[in-house]
Amino acid sequence: MEERFDAVVVGMGPGGEVAASLLLDAGLRVAVVERELIGGECGYWACIPSKTLLRPLEAAAEAAGVAGLDRPAPDWPAMRDYRDTMIRHLNDSKQVAGYTDRGAAVYKGAARVVGRDPWVVEVEGRRLRADNVVVATGSAAARPPIEGLEEVELWTNRQATTLEEIPERAVVVGGSAVGVEMGQFLARMGCEVTLVQRSGALMNREEPRVGELAAELLRSDGVVVRTGAEPRRALRRGRDSVLELADGSSVVGDVVLLAAGRVPRVGELGLEGVGVDTGGAGLAVDERCRVAPGLWAVGDVTGTAMFTHVAKYQARVAAANILGRDRTADYTGVPRVVFSDPEIAAVGLTAEQARARGLDVVAAEVDLPAGLARPWTYETAPTGRLGVLADRGGRVLVGAWAVAPLAGEWIHTAALAIREGIGVDRLRDSVAQFPTYSEGYLLAVEALDM
């Protein structure tokens, strides 16, 4: 059976949902295809459940640091119940009904692209023909080449964010966002956590200073952080899940949590059979999020800045082009946030990246409690660092980072400055609300030696 549509959206995570919604709003006949749950990885197994679980422990730590308050004890059953509410008890029936009511044809199942000119998508025996196909199939947890992983109690972000009971011991493999966030969560819930990172620093795609501060905050919560530690082999020893490391030592837990990045989910679509190259790190898209005429890709499947906010942005770009409104993507100034406590936020280039582009850069780092009132009104023993990076020649910011409370909110000051090329001199002349963490940017840009 074959049906005709203006557009077929394959994968209904945040990127797919935004694309489908915009096309439906424009009056197109749209089919949406989802192999699991409408809402995707972010809504059920990543961003939403992880931040929901992290918040009570963050609030408890905030209370402990505020004059006149005591630290409340976490109520795990209540936390778990609210998490389940937020992830809709892994039930997307309301989402399916919502899209159906808006006029979309909803298909549940794995999709394969079986034809082009026009494009044909096959799902559960049905053939969907359309001039435009938007691929938004997301990514899966990377599986490092560690021998014997099948022998141990293995978790990815999915098991970690939907857990029913807190393990006594956990080994976390990887020191980026998932590793830092879930490592801190488990530790604050009383789990003995060991984090092993192959490279010499956590958050190794950020400035080295960010990784140092991330390690400090994890260690302050009791996490054993081992950098420069390469897992070679996993094995079961009784009830223990054991990782043997390259240096001959080993680490032991009840579970092993893989937090070593994500890989685009491309291989199941059959695109090679219709002449689309899928051999790179995701589907290669042009500046309009186009893979080929009438074929578009958004989100993690593109391998471009694997963040929910980027997926939603790319969806807006792709939808605009499908609707005949020429629009190109610009990834300048995309913020990156780890929702640890305190939060870790960054935007723009690192010094190494900037120098590789031939820029003459100057950096400054400031201690926020030393120069601001806001940290002291926020907590009694405040911490917080802010760093900025500027191009001497252009006299503009090209990078910034912060490890401080609510950094994910006020990193957008730097994000806007970098994206719009607001000069350092203009930033020095800005007027920031008192008392706020955002005032820190004045301290930082004034400290730049330029």
Cα angle 152-153-154, degrees, rounded to a multiple of 5: 95
Are 430 and 402 in contact by the 8 Å Cβ rule? The answer is no
* Terminal Cα-to-Cα distance of the chain (whole angstroms): 67
The single residue listed with the structure tokens 């530790």 is 187
383 carries a ligand binding annotation: no
DSSP 360-417: -EEEEEEEHHHH-SHHHHH-SS---EEEEEEETTTTEEEEEEEEETTHHHHHHHHHHH
5 carries a ligand binding annotation: no
Are 392 and 360 in contact by the 8 Å Cβ rule? The answer is yes
The single residue listed with the structure tokens 């009971």 is 165
Are 276 and 295 in contact by the 8 Å Cβ rule? The answer is yes
| β-strand partners of 388 | 364, 400
300 carries a ligand binding annotation: yes
177 carries a ligand binding annotation: yes
Find the helix or strand (DSSP H, E) in which 339 lies.
Answer: none
137 carries a ligand binding annotation: yes
175 carries a ligand binding annotation: yes
Rounded Cα gap, residues 315 and 42, in angstroms: 15
Distance of CA 130 to the CA centre of its chain: 31
89 carries a ligand binding annotation: no
223 carries a ligand binding annotation: no
| DSSP reduced 3-state for 244 | strand
Are 193 and 172 in contact by the 8 Å Cβ rule? The answer is yes
Q: In this structure, what token pair is assigned to residue 28?
A: 């197109």
DSSP 181-223: HHHHHHHHTT-EEEEEESSSSSSTTS-HHHHHHHHHHHHHTT-
412 carries a ligand binding annotation: no
Q: β-pairing, 240-245 with 126-135?
A: unpaired
What residue type is assigned to position 153 of the chain? Answer: E
Q: In this structure, what token pair is assigned to residue 147?
A: 């021998």
C-alpha radius of gyration, the chain, whole number: 23
179 carries a ligand binding annotation: yes
267 carries a ligand binding annotation: no
CA-CA distances (angstroms) from residue 182 to 179, 214, 300? Answer: 6, 13, 21
67 carries a ligand binding annotation: no
Rounded Cα gap, residues 87 and 336, in angstroms: 23
408 carries a ligand binding annotation: no
306 carries a ligand binding annotation: yes
Rounded Cα gap, residues 190 and 168, in angstroms: 7
CB-count burial class (<10 Å; 0-12, 13-18, 19+) for 182:
buried
Are 202 and 215 in contact by the 8 Å Cβ rule? The answer is yes
Binding region = 51, 137-139, 174-181, 261, 300, 306-309
Binding region for NAD(+) = 174-181, 261
Binding region for FAD = 51, 137-139, 300, 306-309
